């Protein structure tokens, strides 16, 4: 029996107590806490009064179906408003296309007021309450959210809460010595504390500045993990938590349904630690979650933690972030394409894919950011691979400095001191389309097929579905030339979109292939939920995994689908035809007499073995099953 969702008064009571207990754990006996907490609860009441009725109705719908985001019908896309459509109004003209593609979720890259031209693509926010005037207004954003929702698409935007721009009113106040903002950032009069912190912190954007601190014009030093103009907020001050909670509620009330929690790993600092992934970072996220549960219980948090896989999964919980990027799978898709070796990816699917109930991965092939090789060295070692050497190989391979490479990527944030580096580029350019490599289209489809068949929520970087190539013109754009990630953030590829229904073009081939996979995923519930079982193909170049069927443990005795495997996926990373031996497949063959490859629609006789072309893959389901 579905339970009646808790009403506001109940949530205010239950989640309010959770909020208080979390804040007491974070702030201990900080004398500022009681005042900030009382004020915050008043803010929460005010935000509820302002929450539009349409959103309250949506909240109830989401509360009644809390795992809505795990549906096989979900498909996410991401784009920059300016590069894809000019303005928010221009973006709405693309809604019919979003429906054609099958989107149910759209992440618009940061679109708030930011300094010009240096804004880190909008990740340096000067006001969370104003849309960048070049893109539109807050009214336009609300209208966009409504129009998308009316078309079955949930709007996601960034909550850039680790830092603000140095042009934010709080930053200006802190710089000017306004006591209200004195303690909003990590500002020190001299190098003593910065030196102490930097003994244990990592350099994140070493091409921008060394260390974690940057000098201010008055000789003081401010914490800036990313660019010099992005100042880290000091969550050690409960007033900062309250201030950002208010910005979050403001965004929630505009109709945003998913908040992408930017740079979660960095939000808490403690001397003598790496200042990443600290326990208080989790408590803070849970406290933000509690605030949301009261006012906007339908809202989801997406964690953006591009860190060691042990740490990534720690952010996933219904009480913290319901969604997380899956950076390990993303990086290992690229690893498997370069090496033609499926083992690291297979290992990750076997040992690191499970997530807590009520949470899901956002599976993606690439994002607007760089590809960082965040696999665990200890996992690689189990396969006899040296992590450092292997990263260095991948970095060379993806910038075409390895014999036979098909990739045309660009290095990002190379650290001369540590030798560390990351890779930027579009999917098509990284997969060989720019180089004219014969396997490029197949690689692009294979890469996306993994994101589409491993449960969770697949995310496409819009334009990649028609094979957009790197755009090198960023080097001439003010504020962009020093950030090579722009190579992978091209403008709307109009010509390629125009070709998308022409199968003779690469755009058409990629689009038709992807649309087909998306349609299959959305019509077969077996693709929902992320439960995977590894399948050993006995060949390093062949990847295998299965999803349990409806007839397995979850509904024993179900007559319609007696098979315990709902879906079996096999993929060939090699450049030549490969066969999986019938003996390897005999277990599957015993489960069902006949299997269908959903991708081609053909019947497959597993007792004859399975032949897979170069970069080929199959999505097998037992014939006659209703998956
Ligand atoms: C995020 O990424 C954003 O995705 C970037 O576009 C921003 O520049 C950055 O934050 C600052 O707002 O370093 O290269 O998890 O990898 O948070 C991307 C650690 C980044 C970082 C990640 C960050």
**Which residue's CA is the closest to the ligand 1 atom numbered 19?**
306
Residues 48 and 120 in one domain: no
Alpha-carbon distances of 586 from 400, 507, 576, 581, 593, rounded to whole Å:
41, 39, 24, 9, 11
Given a contact cutoff of 8 angstroms between Cβ atoms, the answer to whether 164 and 171 are in contact is yes
- Residue 70 in any domain: the answer is no
Residues 275 and 303 in one domain: no
Q: Which of 298, 315, 349 corresponds to the end of one domain?
A: 298
- Residue 71 in any domain: the answer is no
The pLDDT of residue 550 is 53
Q: How far is ligand 1, taken at its centre, from the CA of residue 497, in Å?
A: 29
The pLDDT of residue 562 is 53
Q: Which amino acids bring their CB within 6 angstroms of ligand 1?
A: 120-121, 123, 160, 204, 226, 262-263, 265, 304-307, 369-370
> For 35-73, what is each residue's pLDDT tens digit?
999 999 999 999 999 999 999 999 999 999 999 999 999
Q: How far is ligand 1, taken at its centre, from the CA of residue 300, in Å?
A: 20
> For 321-372, what is each residue's pLDDT tens digit?
999 999 999 999 999 999 999 999 999 999 999 999 999 999 999 999 999 9
Q: Which of 15, 120, 132, 262 is catalytic?
A: 262
Q: Which of 525, 558, 587 corresponds to the end of one domain?
A: 525
Q: Is the pLDDT of residue 418 over 90?
A: no
**Confidence bin at 192 (pLDDT 50/70/90):** very high
**Which residue's CA is the closest to the ligand 1 atom numbered 15?**
306
Q: What sign has the CA pseudo-torsion 335, 338, 339, 340?
A: positive
CB neighbourhood size of 496 (10 A): 22
Q: How far is ligand 1, taken at its centre, from the CA of residue 262, in Å?
A: 7
The secondary structure element, H or E, covering residue 122 is none
> For 205-235, what is each residue's pLDDT tens digit?
998 999 999 999 999 999 999 999 999 999 9
> For 502-527, what is each residue's pLDDT tens digit?
999 999 999 999 999 999 999 999 99
CB neighbourhood size of 218 (10 A): 10
Alpha-carbon distances of 169 from 114, 123, 185, 268, 374, rounded to whole Å:
12, 16, 12, 22, 35
Q: Which of 59, 140, 232, 304 is catalytic?
A: 304
Query: What whole-number percentage of the chain has pLDDT above 90?
Result: 93
Closest CA to 16 of 238, 294, 241: 294
Q: How far is ligand 1, taken at its centre, from the CA of residue 225, in Å?
A: 10
Residues 381 and 324 in one domain: yes
User: Could you confirm whether 304 is annotated as catalytic?
Assistant: yes
Please count the structural domains in the chain.
4
Angstrom distance (rounded) from CA 107 to CA 110:
9
Residues 292 and 304 in one domain: no
H, E, C per residue of 302-325 = EECCCCCHHHHHHHECCCCECEEE
Residues 489 and 374 in one domain: yes
- Residue 31 in any domain: the answer is yes
Residues 546 and 577 in one domain: yes
The predicted model gives 572-601 an average pLDDT of: 96
Q: Is the pLDDT of residue 626 over 90?
A: no
- Residue 627 in any domain: the answer is no
Q: Which of 207, 208, 262, 305 to mutate to test the pocket of ligand 1 (most atoms within 8 A of CB)?
A: 262
The predicted model gives 102-131 an average pLDDT of: 97
**Confidence bin at 529 (pLDDT 50/70/90):** confident
The predicted model gives 458-481 an average pLDDT of: 96
Residues 90 and 201 in one domain: no
Closest CA to 187 of 207, 210, 212: 212
Residues 347 and 417 in one domain: yes
Across the chain, mean pLDDT equals 95
**Which residue's CA is the closest to the ligand 1 atom numbered 4?**
369
- Residue 113 in any domain: the answer is yes
Residues 293 and 220 in one domain: no
Q: Which atom of ligand 1 is nearest to the CA of 205?
A: 13
Q: How far is ligand 1, taken at its centre, from the CA of residue 263, in Å?
A: 6
Q: Which of 232, 249, 278 corresponds to the end of one domain?
A: 232
Given a contact cutoff of 8 angstroms between Cβ atoms, the answer to whether 249 and 295 are in contact is yes
Q: Which atom of ligand 1 is nearest to the CA of 367?
A: 4
The pLDDT of residue 552 is 41
Q: How far apart are the first and last CA of the chain?
A: 25
The pLDDT of residue 402 is 96
Q: Is the pLDDT of residue 557 over 50?
A: no
Residues 369 and 500 in one domain: yes
Q: Is the pLDDT of residue 273 over 90?
A: yes
Q: Which residues are bridge partners to 221 per DSSP?
A: 188, 215
pTM score: 0.96
**Which residue's CA is the closest to the ligand 1 atom numbered 16?**
306
Residues 282 and 335 in one domain: no
User: Is residue 294 classed as helix, strand or coil in its secondary structure?
Assistant: helix
Q: 557 is in which domain, residue-wise?
A: 532-622
Residues 320 and 400 in one domain: yes
- Residue 324 in any domain: the answer is yes
Q: How far is ligand 1, taken at its centre, from the CA of residue 367, in Å?
A: 11
All residues at 6 or more sequence positions from 323 whose CB lies less than 8 Å from its CB, including other chains: 69, 258, 300, 301, 302, 303, 316, 359, 360, 361, 362, 457
Angstrom distance (rounded) from CA 186 to CA 209:
17
Given a contact cutoff of 8 angstroms between Cβ atoms, the answer to whether 415 and 206 are in contact is yes
**Which residue's CA is the closest to the ligand 1 atom numbered 10?**
263
Written as one string, the DSSP assignment of 507-563 is HHHHHHHHHHHHHHHHH-GGGSS---EE---SSTTEEEEEEE-TTSTTSTT-SS---
The pLDDT of residue 555 is 37
The pLDDT of residue 2 is 59
All residues at 6 or more sequence positions from 504 whose CB lies less than 8 Å from its CB, including other chains: none
Q: Is the pLDDT of residue 561 over 70?
A: no
The pLDDT of residue 434 is 98
């Amino acid at each position: 029996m579905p339970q009646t969702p808790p009403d506001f008064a109940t949530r205010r009571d239950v989640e309010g107590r959770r909020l208080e207990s979390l804040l007491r754990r974070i702030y201990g006996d900080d004398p500022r806490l009681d005042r900030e907490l009382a004020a915050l609860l008043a803010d929460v009441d005010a935000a509820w009064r302002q929450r539009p009725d349409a959103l309250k109705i949506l909240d109830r719908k989401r509360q009644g179906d809390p795992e809505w985001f795990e549906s096989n019908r979900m498909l996410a896309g991401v784009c920059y408003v300016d590069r894809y459509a000019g303005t928010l109004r221009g973006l709405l003209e693309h809604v019919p296309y979003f429906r054609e593609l099958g989107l149910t979720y759209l992440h618009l890259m940061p679109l708030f007021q930011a300094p010009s031209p240096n804004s880190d693509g909008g990740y340096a926010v000067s006001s969370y309450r104003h849309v960048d005037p070049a893109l539109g207004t807050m009214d336009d954003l609300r209208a966009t959210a409504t129009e998308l929702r009316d078309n079955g698409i949930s709007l996601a935007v960034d909550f850039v809460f680790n830092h603000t721009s140095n042009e934010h009113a709080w930053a200006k106040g802190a710089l000017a010595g306004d006591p209200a903002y004195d303690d909003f950032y990590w500002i020190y009069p001299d190098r003593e504390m910065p030196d102490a912190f930097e003994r244990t912190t990592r350099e994140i954007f070493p091409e921008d500045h060394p260390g974690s601190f940057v000098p201010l014009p008055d000789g003081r030093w401010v914490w800036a993990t990313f660019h010099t103009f992005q100042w880290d907020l000091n969550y050690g001050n409960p007033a900062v938590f309250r201030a950002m909670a208010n910005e979050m509620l403001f965004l929630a009330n505009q109709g945003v349904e998913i908040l992408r929690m930017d740079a979660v790993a960095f939000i808490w600092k403690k001397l003598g630690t790496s200042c990443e992934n600290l326990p208080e970072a989790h408590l803070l996220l849970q406290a933000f979650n509690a605030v949301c549960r009261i006012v906007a219980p339908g809202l989801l948090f997406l964690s953006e933690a591009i860190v060691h896989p042990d740490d990534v999964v720690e952010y996933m919980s219904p009480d913290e972030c319901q969604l997380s990027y899956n950076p390990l799978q993303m990086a290992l898709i690229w690893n498997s394409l370069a090496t033609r070796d499926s083992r690291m990816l297979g290992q990750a699917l076997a040992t690191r894919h499970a997530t807590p109930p009520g949470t899901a991965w956002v599976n993606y092939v690439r994002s607007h950011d760089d590809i960082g090789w965040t696999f665990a060295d200890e996992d690689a070692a189990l396969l006899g691979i040296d992590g450092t050497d292997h990263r260095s190989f991948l970095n060379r391979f993806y910038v075409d400095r390895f014999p036979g490479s098909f990739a045309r990527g660009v290095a990002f944030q190379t650290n001369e001191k540590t030798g560390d580096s990351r890779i930027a580029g579009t999917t098509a350019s990284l997969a060989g389309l720019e180089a004219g490599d014969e396997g490029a289209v197949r690689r692009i489809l294979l890469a996306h097929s993994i994101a589409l068949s491993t449960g969770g929520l697949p995310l496409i970087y819009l334009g990649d579905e028609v094979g957009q190539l790197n755009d090198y013109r960023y080097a001439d754009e003010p504020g962009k030339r020093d950030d090579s990630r722009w190579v992978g953030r091209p403008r709307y590829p109009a010509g390629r979109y125009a070709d998308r229904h022409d199968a003779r073009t690469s755009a058409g081939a990629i689009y038709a292939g992807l649309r087909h996979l998306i349609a299959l995923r959305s019509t077969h519930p077996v693709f929902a939920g992320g439960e995977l079982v590894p399948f050993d193909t006995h060949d390093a170049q062949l990847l295998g995994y299965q999803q349990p069927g409806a007839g397995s443990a979850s509904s024993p005795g179900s007559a319609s689908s007696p098979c315990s495997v709902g879906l079996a996926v096999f993929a060939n990373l090699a450049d030549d035809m490969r066969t999986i031996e019938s003996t390897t497949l005999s277990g599957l063959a015993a489960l069902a007499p006949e299997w269908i490859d959903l991708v081609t629609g053909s019947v497959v006789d597993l007792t004859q073995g399975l032949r897979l072309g170069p970069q080929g893959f199959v999505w097998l389901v037992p014939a006659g099953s209703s998956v």
